[in-house]
């Protein structure tokens, strides 16, 4: 039986959750058109839809909220956040933003011109969309191992350095306003990027005079993976590793809803004074004055505290241990998951659980619905519902390589018995898998259809 370090906290405030009876679940599923995005949260028992903004804040964060300074300009809260950001990330300039995508929007507005390319390991979907919204072309250059779910490579988020060089040579450095890397690689299973790879990425970008930005949403989890897995880092603190990582880059964007353990917030940092001037002007237009960036003063204070709590090594050992534990328990039930377990989520191979359901009948969605039906648990399909599309040239359907169900784990929110409940529910589903059927659309919009589509069982 796998184990992990006990929670380095005890529980002072609780929030009730209720397991509604099977008949009510069936009714809720029907009313939602078998799309879990359309469900009421109160009908969910264990909600693993996302780890974004869903974590539990600490007593220190709630105390900091009471100290929030709501002055429009130059608030004390801003200066407390500034001190934390400078201490942890070490960039010369920064602005707060209301979430990660707001920071991405401003960066893309300032730097991306139509037709230009922005390489990365894999862009997260909001980053991808913000680059495209400015006419840019996001490009993913992750190593091939990332596409093999069984491959246990310790740093499956790495960029393929040979591909990166060849890509820059092909499109020309002048057509690349900045380069990125996402740590950990959310779109690729929450997989980390090694320090060795980060150094090589920085060297390549800088040899072509391309500014290097890190998408830092899960930088603390990435730093802990480096400490655990990369030779030479076991004796360094996670904070030292983070500092080293950011010293390689020219700036970063961050969704603070991840490793800063707040319910709302984001950051944009840069060392470039000219860019910073433009960023501030964009921010004032879209988000707010540069010392609050679309957030309340109290949100800035919660972030300032949460940034440090996210780096706490006892917390990170428990956090990554909990994810690995859930993956191991699910594997014990005979269900394969992307290996190794990522930082924030477990990705189940739905095609392996439901091999009799073809991709055109959505095995990931079928497993997602079954998880709710059996245990009122909410996950998210990452497969054909999200990604299958008609090829404009051939008129043929193009299906994604993998049919996955993602279970994202909110921070400091669920206990080991919740994880056992999830694994036991999946075990029961696996036992009756042969009788589970696929789905068809009754409604599907053109873009981002997974959010609002409706289904009917076959």
Ligand X SMILES: *Cc1c(COP(=O)(O)O)cnc(C)c1O
Q: Which residues are catalytic?
A: 72, 124-125, 215, 217, 258, 450
d(CA 71, CA 78): 10
β partners of residue 345: 408
Report if residue 35 touches ligand X, rule: CB under 6 A: no
Structure token pair of residue 136? 């840019």
Count residues binding ligand X (CB under 6 A): 15
Strands 46-47 and 377-378: parallel
d(CA 330, CA 335): 6
**Which of 189, 120, 118, 161 lies closest to 401, judged by CA?**
189
Alpha helices in 32-92 (DSSP H): 59-66, 76-88
3 state DSSP class of 139: strand
Report if residue 68 touches ligand X, rule: CB under 6 A: no
Question: Which of 2-10, 80-88, 121-129, 448-456 is the region at the interface with ligand X (rule: CB under 6 A)?
Answer: 121-129
Q: How near is the Cβ of 253 to ligand X at its closest, in Å?
A: 7
Q: Nearer Cβ to ligand X, position 116 or 127?
A: 127
> Looking at 99, 130, 194, 339, which residue binds ligand X (CB under 6 A)?
99
DSSP states along 176-227: -S-EEEESSBGGGTSB---HHHHHHHHHHHHHTT--EEEE-TTHHHHHHHHH
Report if residue 182 touches ligand X, rule: CB under 6 A: yes
> Looking at 107, 159, 217, 241, which residue binds ligand X (CB under 6 A)?
217
Question: Which of 9-17, 66-74, 110-118, 252-260 is the region at the interface with ligand X (rule: CB under 6 A)?
Answer: 252-260
Spell out a b/e string for 283-322, using b for 16 or more CB atoms within 10 Å of the CB, else e: beeebbbbbbbbbbbbbbbbbbbbbbbbbbeebbbbbbbb
Structure token pair of residue 10? 């005890």
Q: Nearer Cβ to ligand X, position 99 or 339?
A: 99
Report if residue 121 touches ligand X, rule: CB under 6 A: no
Q: Nearer Cβ to ligand X, position 195 or 262?
A: 262
**Which of 270, 171, 276 lies closest to 214, judged by CA?**
270
Contact 261, 57 (CB under 8 A): yes
How deeply is 217 buried, as exposed, middle or buried, from its count of CB atoms within 10 A (0-12, 13-18, 19+)? buried
- Residues 184-203 touching ligand X, rule: CB under 6 A, are 186
Q: How near is the Cβ of 147 to ligand X at its closest, in Å?
A: 18
Crossing angle of helices 238-247 and 195-207, in 10° steps, is 20
> Looking at 29, 34, 47, 52, which residue binds ligand X (CB under 6 A)?
52
Q: Nearer Cβ to ligand X, position 54 or 359?
A: 54
Q: Nearer Cβ to ligand X, position 101 or 298?
A: 101
Question: Which of 120-128, 138-146, 278-286, 319-327 is the region at the interface with ligand X (rule: CB under 6 A)?
Answer: 120-128
Report if residue 126 touches ligand X, rule: CB under 6 A: yes
Site string for ligand X, 332-371 (x = CB under 6 A): ----------------------------------------
Give the residue at shortest CB distance from ligand X. 100
d(CA 214, CA 49): 25
Report if residue 257 touches ligand X, rule: CB under 6 A: yes
Q: How near is the Cβ of 126 to ligand X at its closest, in Å?
A: 4
Site string for ligand X, 392-431 (x = CB under 6 A): ----------------------------------------
Residues at the site binding ligand X, with contacts judged by CB under 6 A: 52, 99-101, 124, 126-127, 182, 186, 215, 217, 255, 257-258, 266
């Amino acid at each position: 039986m796998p184990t992990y370090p006990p929670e380095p906290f005890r529980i002072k405030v609780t929030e009730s959750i209720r397991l509604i009876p099977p008949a009510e679940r069936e009714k809720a599923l029907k009313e939602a058109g078998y799309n879990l995005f359309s469900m009421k949260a109160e009908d969910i028992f264990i909600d693993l839809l996302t780890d974004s903004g869903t974590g539990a804040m600490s007593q220190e964060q709630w105390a900091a909220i009471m100290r929030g300074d709501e002055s429009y300009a130059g608030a004390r809260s801003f200066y407390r956040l500034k001190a934390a950001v400078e201490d942890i990330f070490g960039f010369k300039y920064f602005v707060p933003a209301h979430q990660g995508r707001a920071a991405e929007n401003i960066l893309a507005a300032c730097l991306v011109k139509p037709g230009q390319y922005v390489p990365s390991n894999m862009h997260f979907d909001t980053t991808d969309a913000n680059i495209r919204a400015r006419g840019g072309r996001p490009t993913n250059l992750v190593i091939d191992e990332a596409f093999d779910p069984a491959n246990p490579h310790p740093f499956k988020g790495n960029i393929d350095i040979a591909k990166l060089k060849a890509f820059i040579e092909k499109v020309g450095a002048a057509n690349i306003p900045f380069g990125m890397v996402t740590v950990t690689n959310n779109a690729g299973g929450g997989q980390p990027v090694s320090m060795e790879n980060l150094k090589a990425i920085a060297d390549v970008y800088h040899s072509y005079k391309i500014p290097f930005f890190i998408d830092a949403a899960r930088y603390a989890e990435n730093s802990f993976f480096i400490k655990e897995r990369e030779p030479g880092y076991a004796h360094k603190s996670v904070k030292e590793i983070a500092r080293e990582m950011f010293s390689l880059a020219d700036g970063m964007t961050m969704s603070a809803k991840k490793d800063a353990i707040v319910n709302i917030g984001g950051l944009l940092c840069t060392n470039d004074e000219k860019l910073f001037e433009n960023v501030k002007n964009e921010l004032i237009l879209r988000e707010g004055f540069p010392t609050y960036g679309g957030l309340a003063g109290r949100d800035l204070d919660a972030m300032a505290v949460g940034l440090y709590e996210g780096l706490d090594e006892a917390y990170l050992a428990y956090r990554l241990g909990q994810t690995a534990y859930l993956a191991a328990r699910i594997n014990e039930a005979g269900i394969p998951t992307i290996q190794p377990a990522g930082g924030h989520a477990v990705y189940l191979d739905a095609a392996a659980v439901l091999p009799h359901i073809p991709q055109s009948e959505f095995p990931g969605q079928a497993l997602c619905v079954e998880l709710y039906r059996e245990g009122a648990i909410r996950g998210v399909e990452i497969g054909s519902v999200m990604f299958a599309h008609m090829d404009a040239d051939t008129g043929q359907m193009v299906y994604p390589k993998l049919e996955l169900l993602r279970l994202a784990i909110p921070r400091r929110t669920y206990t080991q018995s919740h994880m056992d409940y999830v694994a036991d529910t999946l075990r029961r589903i696996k036992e009756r898998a042969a009788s589970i059927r696929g789905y068809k659309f009754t409604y599907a919009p053109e873009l981002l259809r997974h959010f609002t589509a409706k289904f009917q069982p076959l």
